């Protein structure tokens, strides 16, 4: 099944894709997180809505889709350096660093999240190094702690796309930790739909990022350094993950900072993030005022 969130009649509602239509689920669930929390019984309710002739339906074409997950109870959970080619393409900045023996995790603010066709914000006044990172994202379907790798897939509700737009100079400014350089408001598209785990093979999925018509990233998730079961086992080790939590699984090689010359996002760019079986997001890059009245001196 394919689930979406969309703006309809002035509010955001959850829906399920049925052919060329979206079945409105808002009279059954306030949002997709509520559906996910409901487990198998909630999926049965969604199936029943698809078969009902009385439920409101909206044309899929032209629907105003937003990010599938619109209610976050924690930061977005992220994975760094999860494709060895990506780790190696950045080695010039850290020539003596060994490959990690376990996944590298970090968080980013939910306020980064925008919809699959919304503008992505940049502000050159505090960063000139806005970089794209196409990623497969997973959404947990069950709340658990210390999940064994062999049971990991049973805890996944579904998958969608993300683009972890990053500010490379902010990453370096803050001691090399990634939270700040990846947590700027309005910078991470998520979507376009949440595809249930039974519909795709997340370890054999082609992932692409296309910038202004040029393919910048093109890889399969089979190239992950740490598989999805390994990520789930390591992330949940001693830490509760909850139904509806979003996890980004890492980006492949081809990012802008490692190109010669570097390629960074600019106002007016069009960024397409594509995933086999999941669809594509298309986001216009737009310069906005993110600095506001801040007196932070970035030259200090």
What local confidence, expressed as pLDDT, does residue 97 receive? 85
**Distance, CA of 277 to CA of 271 (rounded, Å):** 19
Q: Does residue 126 or residue 152 have the better pLDDT?
A: 152
User: Any bridge partners for residue 169, and if so which?
Assistant: none
| List of domains in the chain | 2-66 (no CATH), 76-287 (3.90.850.10)
pLDDT at 247 over 80: yes
What local confidence, expressed as pLDDT, does residue 43 receive? 97
Q: What percent of the chain has pLDDT over 70?
A: 100
- Helix ranges (H only) for the chain are 32-37, 39-51, 84-89, 168-173, 228-236
What local confidence, expressed as pLDDT, does residue 220 receive? 98
What local confidence, expressed as pLDDT, does residue 90 receive? 85
Please name the residues in contact with 158: beta carbons below 8 A apart, sequence gap of 6 or more: 3, 138, 139, 141, 194, 195, 196, 197, 199
Q: What percent of the chain has pLDDT over 90?
A: 89
Contact assessment for residue 147 and residue 138, using Cβ atoms and an 8 Å cutoff: no
Contact assessment for residue 36 and residue 16, using Cβ atoms and an 8 Å cutoff: no
Predicted model pTM: 0.97
Confidence band for 91, pLDDT divided at 50, 70 and 90: confident
101-149: per-residue pLDDT in tens?
A: 999 999 999 999 999 999 999 999 989 999 999 999 999 999 999 999 9
Please name the residues in contact with 140: beta carbons below 8 A apart, sequence gap of 6 or more: 36, 155, 156, 157, 241, 242, 243, 244, 245, 247
């Amino acid at each position: 099944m394919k689930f979406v969130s969309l703006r309809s009649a002035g509010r955001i509602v959850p829906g399920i894709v049925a052919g060329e239509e979206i079945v409105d689920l808002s009279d059954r669930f306030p949002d997709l997180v509520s559906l996910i929390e409901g487990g198998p019984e909630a999926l049965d309710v969604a199936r029943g809505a698809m078969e009902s002739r009385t439920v409101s339906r909206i044309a899929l074409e032209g629907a105003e889709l937003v990010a599938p997950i619109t209610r976050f109870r924690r930061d977005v959970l992220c994975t760094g350096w999860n494709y060895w080619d990506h780790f190696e393409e950045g080695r010039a900045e850290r020539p003596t660093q060994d490959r990690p023996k376990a996944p590298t995790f970090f968080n980013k603010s939910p306020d980064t999240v925008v919809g699959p066709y919304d503008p992505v914000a940049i502000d050159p006044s505090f960063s000139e190094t806005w970089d794209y990172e196409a990623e497969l994202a997973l959404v947990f379907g069950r709340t658990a702690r210390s999940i064994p790798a062999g049971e990991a897939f049973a805890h996944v509700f579904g998958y969608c796309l993300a683009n972890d737009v990053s500010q490379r100079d902010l990453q370096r400014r803050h001691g090399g930790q990634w939270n700040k350089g990846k947590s700027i408001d309005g910078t991470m598209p998520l979507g376009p739909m949440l595809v249930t785990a039974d519909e795709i093979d997340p370890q054999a999925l082609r992932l692409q990022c296309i910038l202004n018509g040029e393919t910048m990233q093109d890889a399969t998730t089979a190239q992950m350094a740490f598989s999805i079961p390994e990520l789930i086992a390591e992330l949940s080790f001693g830490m509760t993950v909850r139904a509806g939590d979003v996890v980004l699984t890492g980006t492949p090689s081809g990012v802008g900072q490692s190109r010669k010359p570097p390629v960074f996002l600019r106002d007016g760019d069009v960024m397409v993030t594509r995933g086999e079986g999941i669809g594509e997001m298309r986001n216009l890059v737009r310069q906005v005022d993110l600095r506001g009245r801040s007196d932070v001196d970035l030259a200090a």
